[in-house]
């Protein structure tokens, strides 16, 4: 079972299946089937370095040297998954992504920046950023623009036109 | 008020959930839908010739569409759930009530095919389910930008109850909810309500209760 | 994966009560099969090339095998006991290894978290010591003296009771549970899980019950068991890895898992590896 199916009480994350709970360091705190047992050190889950900045949660692969990139007054609008690879999204946006997966859309109205994260099966997770000063109407327009961009990218991906 | 009910039917669950949340007591009559196909038998066909469940009976009123049953319960017990404060709210309620039929056809169809072996084009049903989930996700994102926590208003309406079960049970039909953060937040808000009831496939939010103090040998 | 050892076993392939002349197209371990009622009214099962497969009709279900079973279908003496009600719960398909479906059925530690307020509830989460053995004379896995506090142990139970269980694994994808019978304390209720392996990671599960309960309606009994199994289904479909690991190392057992440990050992000993993985990946 993935722990994401589980639940958080206080500072512990518990598995939905048998209720084993884990501390932030990844060590097992409690095995409900054996309340008297102190879980041995060997029972651990993998942990990752996580940081929250500017409303975005960043997870590090391995041990990062510095903190996550700053977003310069941008705020996260929403995250969506495209059944398209990064190349198809670049083609749809008409802009190449940086090595970190950042797509700058300063030219297009509404959406300011995309953060792309390649997933399995040719899917891509897209985080949409807008100006922190945007009003709800601008936010809604940006959200709809992101849907259109995804449709375009998925069409390109399906037809195999993406470079 | 009598409900012909199947414990695994998301449409029946809508009615049970609405009743629980609004404090209405239903007279539940269990129907052997699977494996018995009792809904196709003479007694139930006499009530609902379409051969579907739920069937809701109150006096000589017979309702067989879950959205209509939700509206009836709300009008009787909790009119604020109808959200007719503005033209926009009233229309949004109707929009999502109609939309819930698409969830039933797509995600509900995928679930019946994957789980209870009913015939169906599983790939097509799942693809339609994804389209519907994307629409719901976008709708919830926009509502949140408008400062609204729920589908039609800044409070719960029958629209939320109409859409919630098939969405929450999408994984039963092989459709993941991982790509929809707004749906997951909305779903958690519903599951965390006072008097919320579950159905199989929708697990208890164990975080709502504090960590119990357990001593060995106490169990 | 070797199919040979498991190919000679019996598997459920349909409900006896649903046998008809139209037939049921299904599969057994990757091979398409058809279950049909022949002109004499008998169950007939054919394999993909039209070959006639062995057949039994027992415990509410039709049973068959792709190979040549060396043993008769396992006995359930309670199936012939007068006064019991026999409940066909109906099929549920699960995207999981057939062996994982059985292992989950043998597990009680998940009750408070997955079957909350029915088969278990916090803070009553402790699994007390119980006995597990492989009974060599019958070649079955048995767990006995399994006790657990249950808020609603059965449809016929009113209020919480400490329930006693005995588990039996007489075939690689079948398990029989004997459980405290609230209306008749001197007897055991029988609840089974018969699993039809369609593929290594896909199965049709056929729960069946033989109960002493004269008051609960048949539909309520079916709904109770379907509720329990559908709560398990979402767990089973999310288990990682999908195949059941038979070598130690991947999953950490505790004392509560002794039945599972014995089940895995018994599977490995018999080369019952359809739906299993042998080397930790």
pLDDT, residue B219, reads 40
Instruction: Find tokens 């479909």 and name the residue.
Output: C237
pLDDT, residue A69, reads 84
- Hey, is the C-beta of B208 within 8 angstroms of any chain C C-beta? no
pLDDT band at A102 (very low <50, low <70, confident <90, very high): confident
Residue B215 has pLDDT above 70, yes or no: no
Chains touching chain A through at least 3 C-beta pairs below 8 angstroms are B, C
**Per CATH, the architecture of B83-191 is what?**
Up-down Bundle (1.20)
Q: What is the number of CB-based contacts under 8 A between chain B and chain C?
A: 89
B32: chain C residues, CB-CB within 8 Å: 218-219, 222
pLDDT, residue A161, reads 60
Encode pLDDT of B55-86 as tens digits. 999 999 999 999 999 999 999 999 999 988 89
3 state DSSP class of B179:
coil
- As a whole number, the mean pLDDT across chain B is 95
pLDDT, residue A98, reads 87
Q: What percent of chain A has pLDDT over 90?
A: 74
Look at A43 and C252 and tell me if their CB atoms are within 8 Å.
Answer: yes
* Cβ burial, residue B157 (10 Å; 0-12/13-18/19+): buried
In CATH terms, the superfamily for domain B2-80 is Glutaredoxin (3.40.30.10)
pLDDT, residue B202, reads 96
Encode pLDDT of B130-163 as tens digits. 999 999 999 999 999 999 999 999 999 999 999 9
pLDDT, residue A105, reads 82
- Residue A135, token pair as written in the block: 């009003």
* Cβ burial, residue B83 (10 Å; 0-12/13-18/19+): buried
A contact test, residue of B211, B216, B219 with most A CBs within 10 A: B211
Query: Domains of chain C (ranges plus CATH)?
Result: 80-277 (3.90.380.10)
User: Which ranges of chain A would DSSP assign to H, the alpha helix?
Assistant: 86-93, 136-159
C113: chain A residues, CB-CB within 8 Å: 15-19, 32
Domain residue spans of chain A: 74-159
pLDDT, residue C173, reads 98
pLDDT, residue C154, reads 80
pLDDT band at A160 (very low <50, low <70, confident <90, very high): confident
* Residue ranges in chain C whose pLDDT is less than 50: 1, 281
- As a whole number, the mean pLDDT across chain A is 91
Domain residue spans of chain B: 2-80, 83-191
pLDDT, residue C209, reads 98
Encode pLDDT of B86-139 as tens digits. 999 999 999 999 999 999 999 999 999 999 999 999 999 999 999 999 999 999
Residue B218 has pLDDT above 50, yes or no: no
Q: Name which of C170, C21, B142 is nearest A136 in CA terms.
A: B142
In CATH terms, the superfamily for domain A74-159 is Ribosomal protein S6/Translation elongation factor EF1B (3.30.70.60)
Distance CA A103, CA A94 (A): 10
Distance CA C44, CA C42 (A): 6
Inter-residue contact B158 to B7 (CB < 8 Å): no
pLDDT, residue C2, reads 57
* Higher-scoring residue by pLDDT: A103, B68: B68
ipTM score over 0.90, yes or no:
yes
């Amino acid at each position: 079972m993935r722990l994401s199916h589980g639940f958080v009480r206080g500072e512990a994350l518990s598995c939905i299946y048998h209720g084993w709970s884990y501390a932030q360091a990844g060590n097992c705190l409690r095995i409900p089937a054996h309340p008297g047992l102190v879980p041995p050190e060997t029972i651990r889950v993998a942990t990752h370095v996580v940081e929250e900045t500017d409303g975005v949660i960043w997870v590090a692969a391995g041990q990062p040297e510095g903190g996550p990139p700053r977003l310069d007054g941008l705020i996260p609008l929403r995250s969506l998954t495209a059944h398209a690879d990064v190349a198809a999204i670049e083609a749809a946006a008409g802009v190449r992504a940086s090595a970190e997966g950042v797509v700058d859309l300063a030219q297009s109205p509404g959406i300011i920046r995309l953060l792309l994260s390649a997933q399995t099966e040719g899917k891509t997770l897209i985080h949409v950023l807008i100006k922190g000063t945007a009003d709800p109407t601008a936010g809604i327009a940006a959200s709809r623009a992101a849907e259109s961009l995804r449709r375009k990218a998925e069409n390109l991906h399906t037809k195999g036109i993406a470079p | 008020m009598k409900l012909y009910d199947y414990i695994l039917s998301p449409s029946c669950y809508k009615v049970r959930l609405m009743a629980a949340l609004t404090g209405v007591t239903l007279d539940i009559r269990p129907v052997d839908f699977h494996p018995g196909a009792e809904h196709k038998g003479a007694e139930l066909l006499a009530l609902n010739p379409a051969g579907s469940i739920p069937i809701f009976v109150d006096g000589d009123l017979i309702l067989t569409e879950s959205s209509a049953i939700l509206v009836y319960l709300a009008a009787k017990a909790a009119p604020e759930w109808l959200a007719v404060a503005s033209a926009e709210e009233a229309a949004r309620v109707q929009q999502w009530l109609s939309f819930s039929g698409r969830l039933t056809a797509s995600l509900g169809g995928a679930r019946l095919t994957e789980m209870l072996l009913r015939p169906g084009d599983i790939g097509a049903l799942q693809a339609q389910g994804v389209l519907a989930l994307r629409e719901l996700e976008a709708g919830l994102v926009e509502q949140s930008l408008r400062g609204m926590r729920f589908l039609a208003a800044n409070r719960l309406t029958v629209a939320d109850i109409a859409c919630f079960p098939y969405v929450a049970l999408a994984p039963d039909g092989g459709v993941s909810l991982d790509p929809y953060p707004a749906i997951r937040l909305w779903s958690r808000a519903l599951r965390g309500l006072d008097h919320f009831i579950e159905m199989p496939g929708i697990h208890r939010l164990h975080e709502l209760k504090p960590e119990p103090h357990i001593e060995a040998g106490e169990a | 994966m070797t199919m040979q050892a498991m190919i000679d076993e019996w598997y459920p392939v349909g409900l006896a009560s649903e046998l008809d002349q139209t037939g049921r197209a299904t599969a057994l371990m990757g091979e398409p099969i058809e279950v049909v009622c022949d002109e004499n009214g008998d169950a007939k099962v054919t394999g993909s090339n039209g070959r006639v497969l062995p057949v039994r009709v027992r415990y509410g279900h039709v049973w068959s095998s792709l190979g040549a079973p060396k043993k008769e279908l396992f006995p359930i003496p309670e199936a012939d006991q007068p006064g019991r009600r026999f409940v066909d719960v109906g099929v549920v398909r699960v995207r999981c290894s057939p062996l994982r479906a059985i292992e989950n059925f043998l597990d009680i530690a998940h009750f408070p978290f997955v079957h909350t307020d029915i088969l278990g509830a916090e803070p009553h989460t402790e699994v007390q010591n119980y006995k597990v053995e492989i009974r060599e004379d019958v070649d079955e896995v048995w767990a006995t003296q399994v006790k657990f506090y249950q808020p609603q142990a059965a449809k016929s139970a009113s209020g919480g009771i400490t329930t006693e269980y005995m588990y039996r694994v007489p075939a690689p994808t079948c398990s029989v549970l004997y459980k405290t019978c609230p209306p008749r304390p001197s007897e055991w209720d029988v609840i089974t899980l018969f699993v039809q392996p369609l593929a290594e990671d896909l199965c049709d599960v056929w729960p069946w019950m033989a109960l002493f309960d004269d008051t609960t309606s048949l539909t309520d009994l079916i709904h109770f068991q379907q509720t329990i199994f559908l709560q398990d289904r979402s767990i089973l479909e999310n288990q990682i890895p999908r195949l059941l690991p038979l070598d130690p190392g991947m999953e950490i057992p505790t004392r509560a898992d002794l039945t599972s440990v014995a089940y895995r050992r018994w599977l490995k000993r018999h080369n019952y590896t359809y739906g299993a993985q042998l080397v930790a990946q």
